[in-house]
Amino acid sequence: MSYARPHAGVQPVTHLWRKIPVSDLGFSSPTRLEDGKLSIDIDELTGLLQSDPNVREARLAIARPGESVRIIPVKDVIEPRLSLIPGVPVFPGVFSAWNPDVDGIASGEIVSLSGMVVTTVGSIVGFQEGLIDMSGPGARYSLFSGKLHLVLDVTVREGMGRHDHERTVRLAGLKASNYIAGSVMKHPPRTDIRETLVNPESPGSPASPGRAGGKGKPRIAYLYMLQSQGLLHDTYYCGVDVKTMPPRRILPTEALFGAILSGNCVSACDKNTTYHHQNNPILLDLLRRHGTDLEFAGCVITNENVTLGDKQRSSTLAAELVASLVPDGVIISKEGFGNPDADLMMNCSKIEAHGIKTVLLTDEFAGQAGASQSLVDTHPKADAIVSTGNANEVTVLPPMEKVIGDDRVITTLAGGSSKSRLPDGSIAIELQALIGSTNQLGFERLSSRFK
């Protein structure tokens, strides 16, 4: 069963998204949610995490919005979720064998704990990790400053290689998320927010007759570029590293139950954490507006490659797959900067060659004065671009009363330098070092303008 291409007459896949609000965190037994407060059995969760022979120690901490707390160096941020879809686990393909092309996806419920996240830290793996400030000027650059954080500070066994280190901490975060969501749903609270999301039908069906051509609602597709350059720059789709995959169409709501996972250490500012994938605002906005002021033609995921030949092949396949959706326009988002700029421009130019308009989302690395070339590549057809901000802009962050993790790495993070520490204890650092500050899915409030 190829669930990614529904046929005419087939009932579309519909997902009920239940969001259970969490208003506070604490440690006590058993793990439960009462009157909005999530209590976590610290011994039980710590024992679960340390059952992995690669984990030497796991320390748990809590950070709340407005507190004088810095979390560093951040590996990933995850929103606890539970899939109630028959036969489809949350984070499919990670903890259980699951093939999307064989097993398929049925309609069903997805439950998330809204307002809190699981955040992983530990000794640095790659220099392109970052920080989250829960208060002060740094907080305004990250949506995560407004979340309740259960922070896992994971120490791995000695002598472990960088890739195994990253994988161990990544899995620890996913295990903790599964544990929390599963524990809460043993006695689910009555208070929740419910939203129904209907996946778009395929082109050629009665609901999708083809391009609007100036009549009816415009058909919009989404090309979702995923970081996959290796060297700790990896993203996973249903447990598979996407650098091994050709472009493919997915059900847009797959992201809701964790089909796309972060496993990368690209610069913190434009890294898509797992939370970003779970709550991709482009996908959600297109789903919510489908059938009202636009027709959502569908979503294609594609990788970001290293070699020129791979970029050319992947962009050609992606453009053909997007064109098969018969859209009037396409939104393209990317992850990372520099090398992926070439993938972005190839995707743009080849889709435009099919007579389809594109809009690109990208951040800029324009130098601290904002006067340098923003992207390493461009194309005449890339004439509709939404900027998510200049990652080289410098901000000064005051010292925090508490650090979860290790702030000694600040001077070695991408965006920091040996001159970052100021005499009064503050740090002068580029936005590049702040998790999600210039996120290219449009989460934050930054942009750029011509003067």
How far is it between the farthest Cα atoms of the chain? 68
- Residue 44 to residue 24: CA distance in whole angstroms: 19
Residue by residue, pLDDT tens for the chain (451 residues) are 233 444 444 578 899 999 999 999 999 999 999 999 999 999 999 999 999 999 999 999 999 999 999 999 999 999 999 999 988 899 999 998 888 888 878 899 999 999 999 999 988 887 788 999 999 999 999 999 999 999 999 999 999 998 899 999 999 999 999 999 999 998 888 888 999 999 987 544 444 456 655 568 999 999 999 998 887 889 999 999 999 999 999 999 999 999 999 988 778 999 999 999 999 999 999 999 999 999 999 999 999 999 999 999 999 999 999 999 999 999 999 998 888 999 999 999 999 999 999 999 999 998 888 888 888 899 999 999 999 999 999 999 999 999 999 998 988 888 888 889 999 999 999 999 999 999 999 998 877 666 5
Range 254-289 burial, b when 16+ CB lie within 10 A, else e: bbbbbbbbbbbbbbbbbbbbbbbbbbbebbbbbbee
Confidence (pLDDT) at 347? 97
- Residue 96 is classified by DSSP as S
What pLDDT is attached to residue 187?
A: 87
Q: Can you give the pLDDT at residue 47?
A: 97
Q: CB–CB of 175/143 below 8 Å?
A: no
Considering the entire predicted model, what is its pTM?
0.94
Say if residues 73 and 124 touch (Cβ distance below 8 Å). yes
Task: Please tell me the distance from the alpha carbon of residue 274 to that of residue 175, in angstroms, as a whole number.
Answer: 13
Q: Look at residue 450 in the predicted model and tell me its pLDDT.
A: 61
Name the catalytic one among 238, 265, 299, 348: 265
The identity of residue 251, as a single letter, is L
Q: What is the dihedral of CA 402, 163, 97, 334, to 10 degrees?
A: 80
Q: Give the pLDDT confidence score for residue 451 in this predicted structure.
A: 59
The residues, any chain, with a CB within 8 Å of residue 66's CB and separated by 6 or more, are: 134, 135
What Cα–Cα distance (Å) separates residue 394 from each residue in 274, 376, 413?
26, 21, 14
- pLDDT for res 3: 39
Kindly provide the residue ranges of all beta strands, DSSP E only, lying in 280-354, ordered along the sequence: 295-303, 329-333
Residue 348 annotated to the active site:
no
Q: Token pair 């239940």 is at which residue? A: 18
- Dihedral sign for Cα 418, 421, 423, 427, please: positive
At 417 the three-state DSSP class reads: coil
> Residue 73: its pLDDT value, please?
94
